[in-house]
């Protein structure tokens, strides 16, 4: 009998990727997916799945808030882009977690754990409530940890880029790229995810599709209408535009 899975993630690209990975596996059926946490609460309460893949950090309702609103808890595999989330708390056998970008091998191991839990019936409501309290308490004490390097996949090969080599990230045709050493490297994160994972002292989102490395900026020029042009000290002297609604905060962060 197939495992019935429901997917919740506020990032459409992350949701699509997880769906593709699950579609390649036997023995699992995706019954639904949403980027809206409130919709997830309604769907999970109406038709509880065998397992819920649940993002932690979402607007309005976190993954923990979603679970707290459910009358009955499904088996949960948390998905998170943040390794600062007190992962030791997830060592409890009743739940698992996956760090984004999700590795296919880790996904399969997590699903085997879910199958074992379903067969043994060891998951209880009180277990999950206790775990959620542990994680919540840990989050209050944990300082953020930001990425120091980022992976870029090309076929079966993975390249690792130190972030001090990256001048900026940009989205183009539903893909995200890191610009480094005069080349563009495709990365498995959306711009919104990168904004959360990168050190805000070094990186700033200047536009809905662009995150820039502040140390790479060599010149800032005002544009008509309140926007800004910034020039980077890369080999191409790349020019980027800071959106008008982000210009004020950019000036504060860049010290100009």
Q: Which domains does the chain have, with CATH numbers?
A: 3-141 (3.40.50.2300), 149-254 (2.40.50.1020)
pTM of the model: 0.51
Residue with tokens 């998951």: 123
Task: Please tell me the predicted confidence (pLDDT) of residue 124.
Answer: 46
Instruction: Note the pLDDT tens digit of each residue in 88-134.
Output: 444 433 457 787 778 888 888 888 888 776 676 655 444 555 555 55
How is 27-73 classified by DSSP, letter by letter?
A: TEEEEEEES-HHHHHHHHHHS--SEEEEES--SSS-HHHHHHT-SSP
Q: Starting at the edge strand that comes first in sequence, how are the strands of the sheet with 3-8 ordered?
A: 28-34, 3-8, 51-55, 75-80, 96-99
Asked if 115 and 3 touch (Cβ cutoff 8 Å), the reply is yes
Q: Would you state the pLDDT for residue 85?
A: 46
pLDDT at 164: 95
Cis peptide, bond prior to residue 80, ω within 30 of zero: no
Confidence (pLDDT) at 129: 56
Residue 151 buriedness (CB in 10 A; 0-12 / 13-18 / 19+): middle
- Give the model's pLDDT for residue 126: 46
Q: Which residues of the chain have pLDDT under 50?
A: 84-94, 124-126, 139-142
Average pLDDT across the chain, whole number: 84
pLDDT of residue 58: 84
Q: What is the pLDDT of residue 131?
A: 56
């Amino acid at each position: 009998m197939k495992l019935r899975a429901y997917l919740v993630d506020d990032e459409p690209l992350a949701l699509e990727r997880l769906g593709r990975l699950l579609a390649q596996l036997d023995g699992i059926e995706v019954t639904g997916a949403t980027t809206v946490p409130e919709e997830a609460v309604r769907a999970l309460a109406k038709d509880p799945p065998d397992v819920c893949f649940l993002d932690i950090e979402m607007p309005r309702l976190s993954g923990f808030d979603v679970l707290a609103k459910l009358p009955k808890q499904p088996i949960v595999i948390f998905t998170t882009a943040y390794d600062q989330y007190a992962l030791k708390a997830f060592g409890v056998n009743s739940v698992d977690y996956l760090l984004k970008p999700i590795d296919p091998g880790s996904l399969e191991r997590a699903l085997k754990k879910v199958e074992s839990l379903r067969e043994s019936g060891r998951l209880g409501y009180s277990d999950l409530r206790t775990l959620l309290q542990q994680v919540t308490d840990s989050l209050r004490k944990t300082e953020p940890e930001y990425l120091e390097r980022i992976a870029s996949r090309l076929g079966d090969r993975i390249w690792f880029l130190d972030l001090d080599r990256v001048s900026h990230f940009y989205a183009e045709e539903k893909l995200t790229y890191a610009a480094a050493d005069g080349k563009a490297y495709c990365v498995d994160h959306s711009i919104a995810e990168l904004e959360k994972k990168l050190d805000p002292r070094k990186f700033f989102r200047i536009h809905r599709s662009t995150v820039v490395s502040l140390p790479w900026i060599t010149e800032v020029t005002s544009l008509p209408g309140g926007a800004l042009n910034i020039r980077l000290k890369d080999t191409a002297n790349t020019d980027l535009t800071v959106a008008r609604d982000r210009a004020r905060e950019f000036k504060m962060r860049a010290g100009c």
